[in-house]
Structure 1
């Protein structure tokens, strides 16, 4: 194991290398190393034509993968989500790189599969979605479609159908920790998440690759407790001690380090911000009515991650459920927005892949997810819409095996304004864009697959609630103060089934204080 400066390290990375990055949102990236790769490319043109592999999104809009989102520096990307990576997304949308979008959980499990020396990973997750090779095969842009490469195949095992996700050899893996000792043993106590750093390091070693670590502190050998060692020194080839942690090794985007994000202290729930009664809170209030006491819950990015936890805390429901986030967090109140993936007052922080083990195998009791488009068959699109190539993240991994799915979305978007007064909803200004369309642009959730497996699926908006039936989308509730024809049917590209038992949504949803 060798201690190196970032500028010297990047000289060891040849053109055409395949590099795996670990991180989640704006957290856990090796920014000092990634910036050194960028600087070297801008100064010398090398390294170039890199293949990048990552599971979760790798930026908060400014850091991580965004530093190297340069034409010529990166030529191919395998990843799960680019919603907070505008520069990377532009490379994908403009066909300046080959882009392959695969479910985040499958990518975390690929690390473990490759660490075991296996050729790939098989799973039913993704069947019937754009990842299925009979639809798009995860090829996310035209350059990928024209490449001739297929990252996913269909196979049959014991009469059951699965998708086979192919392994990839890494030349380098970048991982991050807190303390590293003189022999390379690494801890991660100040990190907010455990991520997939151990399996990523093992995956690199299994195929002859090298492991690069960025750490905050160099400490004496033997001073890290053995149970705190997350990566043993024999797996590490190069280590960088970051010089400017306040810039290049922030715990979360909003803080260099705060113990509440790593679970070292708990804060009073009363100190957490109460949400205003806006459209997002209205949706969240109706959505949590689908909870059953004792449910194991997953929250997705967007409205669910931003409001469900806070609404549940306000209304005293947190103790009635077991909250989880795909990043590995169990319990607590989600921080949300560009720090999606962490909570304060967490009960447990598992590694990334282990959380998906539970999601895939047991299936959580209920998941709350966002939606960009919904169609007549109950299909949902969150990955590619309006010219934006965002990706699926862990959406497919969570929604396909979940026992119950609740999609949370505004009815329209693009300037939508509403008011909630005296228990009634008023549309002040309608959104320009319809979200209930005849056919979604890309299938990220298959309504047909869910219907075949008799999964309860709900679509909650500020003015209406739908349920998936064997015949398609069924309208089951309408908000008080809303006109069915004017505010709902005329704002959809198809006519839903209308339940003969159509109900009015609870007026308490639209009041400042619950009566």
Structure 2
């Protein structure tokens, strides 16, 4: 039997000019960083391969130690990059090289919703004619807006079109066929069978491998270790060896950006419920508590990044560790979604599904409620989470946001009413000591990641929660129907939003229990 085990340098030597390379990763989670580094090193030394197109359903790498796509951010190596999200981080860190390339128009760069990118791989694998979807209509994904393009070079090469089919309007993404897959697992046997026992998620590696293999391409798998043929349980093998061409060993690969190995992340042990940290007292906890009030016992809820990520921990503090089933786009179902460098993983999960399967569930709106954050909201209820100002790398792009919100029955957006406001929080209320640099309730959002009016026509239940009020989109725009104790509606809402948010005549005051330094006494 010919060995499939090779060095990273030997594996990337098989990649040719103008190949289409699909990479499995979710920021630092599951990133095949050693292989990507070898590919970048090869180009730096040889000037080849050139003009690659790379596909990233979720970001490859981050700004905290896993370079990922930044290894490839070299002029001439990349022609196009099509990603669900990009490395992001605080303004205190240098801009990633890939962001410099795309903002300077040195590579054609696209931001395609993660679920659509996974769908593209499945349709390529089955030789169907591309993705036909309503996900993204009236958002920046729609050709009437940016059509997923992030710069002028991308706008000159459209990858999505409007299509009339059966009397309805759809978005059509024609096939982009990858012929190289770079994926990651924990263990490979000598035949190339792959298991994921130390991984926090399997992501879309299987679908990406099938898409490439069905078109006679090359699949490169980075793993932590190798075992003898026949020693892996068939039920544990997530990717069979006949789909894998080369195996690269990296014994030092991290589980996430800052995690060498934590068995709780990969579901091998269960943590005691009292071992999870709880949100610190403050404004963000108050907002998360109000969001938690939208839950019912037995709900299945989707969770995003930002303030919303605190909602499960509010439930833990209130004594509801398993009353809600949490679902996240990386595949975890149940348990407690983790934060910080382990975001995208969960502890005490009931199951870890492949990301493409999870997105099928999300796109069809199978869950009860989604908790998401916002950067800015406009008069039409549009939400921007994907692009902001002169420092775009502060955002990661849309990720799965557009897929999740497309048909969600109920969406709870959370965020601050204004940027840089000085807020004083106590058990009696929140006082705005200084209004801040600018309101997040804008005339028109910079990037439409969520289309408010379309959601309204579809009958979706959408609310926007801030530290000052809770709002809905009504006929004449945003209306606050609940106000936080301590907030002056005329000054802190109407004037602070420059008149873009009205206050309902029958407005209610939110309960003081939200402001308690102890438990709030939440009743689902």
Range of TM-score over shorter length? over 0.9
Whether 1:397 aligns to 2:403 is yes
User: Which of these residues, 266, 270, 281, is aligned with residue 277 of structure 1?
Assistant: 281
Q: CA deviation at 1:54?
A: 0.7
1:102-501 mapped onto 2 (5 Å cutoff): 102-145=112-155, 147=156, 149-242=157-250, 245-246=251-252, 249-305=253-309, 307-389=310-392, 390-413=396-419, 415-501=420-506
Shift of the alpha carbon at 1:401? 0.9
What is the DSSP-based 3-state SS (H/G/I as helix, E as strand, rest coil) of the residue aligned with 2:456? helix
- Aligned residues of 2:441 and 2:501 also touching (Cα < 8 A): no
CA contact (8 A) 1:300 1:368 kept: yes
For the Cα contact (< 8 Å) 2:123–2:130, is it kept in 1? yes
Which has the higher mean CA deviation after the structures are superposed, 17-26 or 60-69? 60-69
Write the deviation string for residues 128-186 of structure 1: whole angstroms up to 9, x where unpaired: 111111222111212211x2x22111222222222112211112100111111111111
1:420/1:511 contact within 8 Å kept: no
Deviations 1:315-369 (A, max 9, x none): 1234331111111111111211232211111111101011111112243211011
Corresponding residue SS for 2:413: strand
Report the secondary structure of 2:194's partner residue: coil
SS in 2 for 1:263: coil
Q: CA deviation at 1:385?
A: 1.4
Moved more, 487-496 or 393-402: 487-496
CA contact 1:92–1:141 (8 Å) conserved in 2 = yes
Deviation at 1:92, TM superposition (A): 1.6
Structure 1's unaligned 5+ residue stretches are none
Q: Is the 8 A contact 1:456 1:468 kept in 2?
A: no
Contact 1:436 1:494 in 2 (8 A): no
TM-score (norm 2): 0.93
1:33-89: CA deviation from partner (whole Å, max 9, x where unpaired)? 111112222223222322110111222313222222233322211011125274122
SS in 2 for 1:202: helix
CA shift digits 1:207-255 (9 cap, x unpaired)? 232100111111111000111111111111111112xx33xx1112222
The 1-side partners of 2:438 and 2:79 are apart by 34
More displaced 10-residue stretch of structure 1: 346-355 or 157-166: 157-166
* Distance across 2 between alignment mates of 1:491 and 1:400: 30
Please name the residue that 1:3 is paired with: 5
C-alpha separation between the residues in 2 aligned to 1:100 and 1:334? Answer: 28
- Deviation digits for residues 446-505 of structure 1, max 9, x if unmatched? 011011012111000011110122432111111111111222222214432321111111
Provide Cα deviations, 1:78-113, integer angstroms capped at 9, x if missing partner.
011125274122222221211111111111111111
> What TM-score do you get using the length of structure 1 for normalisation?
0.95
8 Å CA contact 1:156, 1:162 repeated in 2: yes
Query: Is the contact made by 1:364 and 1:401 (CA closer than 8 Å) also made in structure 2?
Result: no
2: distance between equivalents of 1:216 and 1:269? 30
- Unmatched 5+ stretches in structure 2: 90-94
Moved over 6 A (4+): none
Q: Contact (CA 8 Å) 1:476, 1:501: kept in 2 or not?
A: yes
Q: How many residues align?
A: 507
Conserved? CA contact 2:20–2:53, under 8 Å: yes
**Aligned 8 A contact 1:218 1:241 in 2:** yes
Bigger shift: residues 128-137 or 153-162:
153-162
Looking at structure 2, the residues matched to 189 and 348 of structure 1 have their Cα atoms a distance apart, in angstroms, of 13
Q: Is the 8 A contact 2:4 2:190 kept in 1?
A: no
SS at match of 2:482: strand
Give, in whole Å, the separation in 2 of the partners of 1:411 and 1:338: 26
| SS of residue paired to 1:338 | helix
Structure 2 contact 422–433 (Cα < 8 Å) conserved: yes
Q: Is the 8 A contact 2:138 2:454 kept in 1?
A: yes
Would the alpha carbon gap of residues 274 and 117 (structure 1) be closer, same or farther in structure 2, given more than 3 Å must change? same
User: Which residue pairs with 1:505 in the alignment?
Assistant: 510
Equivalent pair of 2:29/2:344 in contact (CA under 8 Å)? no
CA distance in structure 2 between the partners assigned to 1:388 and 1:295 by the alignment: 37
C-alpha RMSD of matched pairs (Å): 1.6
Asked if the contact 2:61/2:87 (under 8 Å) is kept, the reply is: no
- What is the CA–CA distance in structure 2 between the aligned matches of 1:96 and 1:491, rounded to whole Å? 40
Residues of 2 paired with 1:350 and 1:359: CA distance? 12
